[in-house]
Structure 1
Amino acid sequence: MESPIFPEDYVLDGTTKKVILKIIEKKKKFDLLKRRHILIMWCTIFTTFCYFLWLYKQIAIPYSHSFAVMFSVYVEESINLYILLYIIGVFGYMNVLRQKRDKAEKEFHDLRCEFIDKSKDLFGNSETWNRRHEMYNKLKDFYDINLFHQAK
């Protein structure tokens, strides 16, 4: 998986390349989980909003004179149970994705910080040390990975 990040005239050892490719892989995984979480979160919000709006118009307004009648009309329709279970399931899935996203972010950040800490060892000679900023800038441009500083 040679990419434009590693120019031909730039000499890196295999370990450094593997670590950088692993950082890119972790970043892609984090970005994918982040997008999925946001998508499911908005689906949950939209579905819940539409369901409660429908309940308000179909049950709350016509039967507002008695809570017992409202409750019996709500329970009478089995579709309400299925929609409620669907919303609870999507909410649970959203929380699972949030936990996965947080774990992926932590793994990415830890690996990135470890690379930054060990960069003096990985870029041993002065030629690669002086040219590493070119690769770091390409990583920043292509993948939004900052290897200059440990701060997020």
Structure 2
Amino acid sequence: MGSALDQLDRFTDEPTKQMLRGLIKRKEKYENYRKQSLKWLVAAAVCAVSFCLFAVGKGLGRNGILAELLNDSIYLFWILAAAFAYSTAHYFKKKEEKAEGDFHKLRCEIIQKSTDLWPQPEEWKSRETVFKVMKQHYDINLYFESK
């Protein structure tokens, strides 16, 4: 994380680098929650499809769906597994949305304060270098506030 940011010593001061480090950490946190949410959503879908395939293979519904669901515990296992995976995906989705909001808020703050962070005309030119490094190495757009 620090290698590309450490190369910016001559273009930024220490408080600005701390803000950029915080932005990178928030992006990594957001990306991690996004991956976790997707992983658990896929797990929920796999459990639901497995339940359906298992139910069709065993002929669920011939003697009454409720009676068969209560008689065979494997059905309960698949239902609970799918419910658990879905609720975990929902939990991580909420965390993802909060982390995305925090990330976007700090990113917009840096964009809005860029005139204060690089006040001199020669420093303003170095701002372009910092923004390019953030875009190329961390995929963080500091040019525009829109997502």
TM-score of the aligned structures, taking structure 1 as reference length: 0.88
**Preserved CA contact (<8 Å) 2:47 2:78:** no
Flag structure 2 segments of 5+ consecutive residues without an equivalent.
none
Q: Which structure would you say has the larger Rg?
A: 1
Q: Following the alignment from structure 1 to structure 2, what is the Cα–Cα distance between the partners of residues 146 and 119?
A: 13
Deviations 1:79-117 (A, max 9, x none): 322322221111111100000000000000000001100
1:128–1:7: structure 2 CA closer, same or farther, 3 Å change rule?
farther
- Within the candidate set 131, 135, 140, 1:140 is matched to 135
SS in 2 for 1:5: helix
1:30–1:8: structure 2 CA closer, same or farther, 3 Å change rule?
closer
1:41–1:11: structure 2 CA closer, same or farther, 3 Å change rule?
same
Flag structure 1 segments of 5+ consecutive residues without an equivalent.
none
The corresponding residue for 1:25 is 25
TM-score of the aligned structures, taking structure 2 as reference length: 0.91
**Preserved CA contact (<8 Å) 1:40 1:90:** yes
Q: Name the count of aligned residue pairs.
A: 147
Q: Following the alignment from structure 1 to structure 2, what is the Cα–Cα distance between the partners of residues 71 and 83?
A: 15
The corresponding residue for 2:87 is 92
Q: Following the alignment from structure 1 to structure 2, what is the Cα–Cα distance between the partners of residues 128 and 37?
A: 41
Q: Percent identity?
A: 27
SS in 2 for 1:146: coil
Q: Following superposition, which runs of at least 4 residues in structure 1 exceed 4 angstroms of deviation?
A: none
Root mean square deviation of aligned Cα? 1.7
1:144–1:134: structure 2 CA closer, same or farther, 3 Å change rule?
same
The corresponding residue for 1:44 is 44
Task: Confirm or deny that 1:151 pairs with 2:136.
Answer: no
